[in-house]
A and B are shown apart, each in its own frame.
Chain A
């Protein structure tokens, strides 16, 4: 009996601090996001008025929301596709081919992942600078002294410039992840495939890809979550949504509404939409990719 009491005490002592912190700083704020989305609230004053779904209906008639929505989807699609392909190809090369300096390449490719997003944003601001930027001065070798390209200043171009920075940041991370699961594919499979005359490319599609498919499926969810997240961090530090909202994304729009315009309720409604959207998208992707797993 005494022992039992001791055990309960030990358990309580160990988990309570973690649970308390988790409730205060994660669970309550998450519930707050949903709750506040139904209030009209300026923030610093105490008067909140319950408005039900009004914030949401305002949201759906606001072109700025659609702009952020559109940009986010564009980023999710392009960044996921390009990063995915590059990461997969480089992972296959580094784990299947005999490469001199294999370790060196792996180390270098992962570097962007350890840098702060602020650092990456500053680096890309230097690259994209219209007058003294690395990119324009490199391009002037080919196009001469034509008008400088405004990588971050052009309404149309800016979102693609952000895309490139995000891909630059993400490739190494996913590559290392795919390499790890490719290392588990037994060599004997490749050997027998080679004996039957399968070339590199067909080996990749008939052995590597099916066998790392589970891992790929998990990373697809990561792609959605982290692209929504990273695009916010990147845009906030690099363009702050500009010029004129042309590069605003889900969460940067939310942050802007909450702080700059002090409409917290409205901002949280955006948060709820993003929440639901990302879960729905992850669910759909999961369902779509599940069928294909039967292939092997």
Chain B
């Protein structure tokens, strides 16, 4: 208490002011998000007039419409496939690479470490156009040779691009952890007669679990929410991922007004990330200080 009085100013007043600021920011974040949830159960006619009114009833039809008529169900499935595939690819490819880059000495190690670091600064949005053109060229070639394209409009290729562009960040984060481990672990394993591969899979990787979880969390959010690459590489309507589908809904809403469907669609996109966040928020904000990057 004495400390506060020395500050000059009324300590109680300062405290009240601080709480006011905190509550103000919390309200500006929570109210719009909560409003979307409320709006998603309103009937279409309720959208004309005051937006602050509470819904008259629970109009669940919006979700059914969004899921079926606006194809959000289909898009959800695409998103799940792409995200899961990309995460699996990323982990399988990045874990061994990060381990070796961090703990083995070999020719070219320094160069690759530097290049992957530099990759942190390559923004995917700059290179989306060349990636698209490259895949398009590949398709034109395949069409000439075999009569059918492969690269564009392919969920697997999209997942591969996601995994590839997430490599620098993931390797940076994982090799940071691997570098901190003592040499003794491997030496003990080698003495016991374990091979390199066995040592990596059975001794080292299990220890890296917390870092792997962090990597999965961040990349899940990145892949699930991404829309520029997805929009560029998947042009067929039935292959869209959730955020791109949502953009369609937003555009469609401007002509044929279907507010209820739009907000139900929004809830469908946000809910998985919000639930995940509620479960792992501590892990996520701690992991951020560990990774530091990714904005």
Interchain CA distance A123-B39 in the complex, whole Å:
11
Q: Which residues of B contact A13 (CB under 8 A)?
A: 96
The reply to whether B115 and A14 contact each other, CB–CB distance below 8 Å, is no
Take A115-B273, A118-B246 as given contacts and tell me if A123 and B266 are in contact as well, using a CB distance cutoff of 8 Å. yes
Take A26-B122, A109-B25, A117-B227 as given contacts and tell me if A132 and B116 are in contact as well, using a CB distance cutoff of 8 Å. no
Q: Which residues of A contact B47 (CB under 8 A)?
A: 132
Chain A's interface: helix, strand, loop or mixed, by majority? helix
The reply to whether B288 and A177 contact each other, CB–CB distance below 8 Å, is yes
* CB closest residue in chain B, given A14: B96
Assess whether A38 is interfacial by the CB under 8 Å rule.
Answer: no
Assess whether B146 is interfacial by the CB under 8 Å rule.
Answer: no
The reply to whether B196 and A6 contact each other, CB–CB distance below 8 Å, is yes
Assess whether A142 is interfacial by the CB under 8 Å rule.
Answer: no
Take A21-B164, A97-B18, A122-B262 as given contacts and tell me if A229 and B224 are in contact as well, using a CB distance cutoff of 8 Å. no
The segment out of A49-57, A64-72, A143-151, A193-201 that lies at the interface is: A193-201
A22, A86, A138 — which one has the most chain B CB atoms within 10 A of its CB? A22
Q: Which residues of A contact B28 (CB under 8 A)?
A: 168
The reply to whether B127 and A200 contact each other, CB–CB distance below 8 Å, is no
Take A22-B164, A108-B30, A229-B295 as given contacts and tell me if A27 and B100 are in contact as well, using a CB distance cutoff of 8 Å. no
Take A17-B97, A30-B126 as given contacts and tell me if A10 and B197 are in contact as well, using a CB distance cutoff of 8 Å. yes
The segment out of A205-213, A230-238, A284-292 that lies at the interface is: A230-238
The reply to whether A271 and B126 contact each other, CB–CB distance below 8 Å, is yes
B47, B133, B293 — which one has the most chain A CB atoms within 10 A of its CB? B133
Q: Which residues of B contact A29 (CB under 8 A)?
A: 127, 130-131, 134
Q: Which residues of A contact B8 (CB under 8 A)?
A: 199
Query: Which listed residue (B116, B119, B126) contacts A33, Cβ 8 A?
Result: B126
Take A119-B266, A126-B39, A236-B228 as given contacts and tell me if A114 and B122 are in contact as well, using a CB distance cutoff of 8 Å. no
Assess whether A161 is interfacial by the CB under 8 Å rule.
Answer: no
The reply to whether A264 and B18 contact each other, CB–CB distance below 8 Å, is no
Assess whether A24 is interfacial by the CB under 8 Å rule.
Answer: yes
Q: Which residues of A contact B29 (CB under 8 A)?
A: 108-109, 111-112, 168, 172
Assess whether B64 is interfacial by the CB under 8 Å rule.
Answer: no
Assess whether A116 is interfacial by the CB under 8 Å rule.
Answer: yes
The reply to whether A110 and B285 contact each other, CB–CB distance below 8 Å, is yes
Chain B's interface: helix, strand, loop or mixed, by majority? helix
Assess whether A78 is interfacial by the CB under 8 Å rule.
Answer: no
Proximity bits, A1-35, B CB within 8 Å = 1, else 0 = 00000111011011101110110111111101100
Interface residues on A, range: 35 or more
Assess whether B99 is interfacial by the CB under 8 Å rule.
Answer: yes
- Expressed in whole angstroms, the minimum distance between the Cβ of A260 and any Cβ of chain B is 12
The reply to whether A6 and B51 contact each other, CB–CB distance below 8 Å, is no
- Expressed in whole angstroms, the minimum distance between the Cβ of A93 and any Cβ of chain B is 6
Proximity bits, A232-257, B CB within 8 Å = 1, else 0 = 11001100000000000001001100
Assess whether A228 is interfacial by the CB under 8 Å rule.
Answer: yes
Q: Which residues of A contact B3 (CB under 8 A)?
A: 194
Q: Which residues of A contact B270 (CB under 8 A)?
A: 115-116, 119
Query: Which listed residue (A27, A43, A275) contacts B115, Cβ 8 A?
Result: A27
Take A109-B26, A116-B224, A118-B227 as given contacts and tell me if A26 and B281 are in contact as well, using a CB distance cutoff of 8 Å. no
- Expressed in whole angstroms, the minimum distance between the Cβ of B160 and any Cβ of chain A is 7
- Expressed in whole angstroms, the minimum distance between the Cβ of B272 and any Cβ of chain A is 10
The reply to whether A127 and B32 contact each other, CB–CB distance below 8 Å, is yes
The reply to whether A173 and B295 contact each other, CB–CB distance below 8 Å, is yes
* CB closest residue in chain B, given A44: B136
The reply to whether B123 and A126 contact each other, CB–CB distance below 8 Å, is no
- Expressed in whole angstroms, the minimum distance between the Cβ of A239 and any Cβ of chain B is 11
Proximity bits, B262-295, A CB within 8 Å = 1, else 0 = 1100100110011011000100110011001101
Assess whether A163 is interfacial by the CB under 8 Å rule.
Answer: no
Query: Which listed residue (A28, A176, A226) contacts B288, Cβ 8 A?
Result: A176
- Expressed in whole angstroms, the minimum distance between the Cβ of B27 and any Cβ of chain A is 9
* CB closest residue in chain B, given A25: B164
B39, B123, B288 — which one has the most chain A CB atoms within 10 A of its CB? B123
Interchain CA distance A258-B12 in the complex, whole Å:
58
Given contacts A19-B112, A94-B22, list 12 more A-B pairs with CB under 8 A: A18-B96, A108-B30, A109-B29, A114-B284, A119-B269, A197-B6, A229-B295, A230-B295, A233-B227, A254-B126, A255-B128, A258-B129
Binding site for B on A (CB under 8 A): 6-8, 10-11, 13-15, 17-19, 21-22, 24-30, 32-33, 36, 43-44, 86, 89-90, 93-94, 97, 99, 104-112, 114-119, 121-127, 129, 132-134, 137-138, 168, 170-173, 176-177, 180-181, 194, 197, 199-201, 218, 222-223, 225-226, 228-230, 232-233, 236-237, 251, 254-255, 258-259, 264, 267-268, 271, 274-275
Q: What are 5 sample pairs from A and B whose C-beta atoms fall under 8 A apart?
A: A7-B104, A122-B246, A170-B295, A233-B228, A275-B126
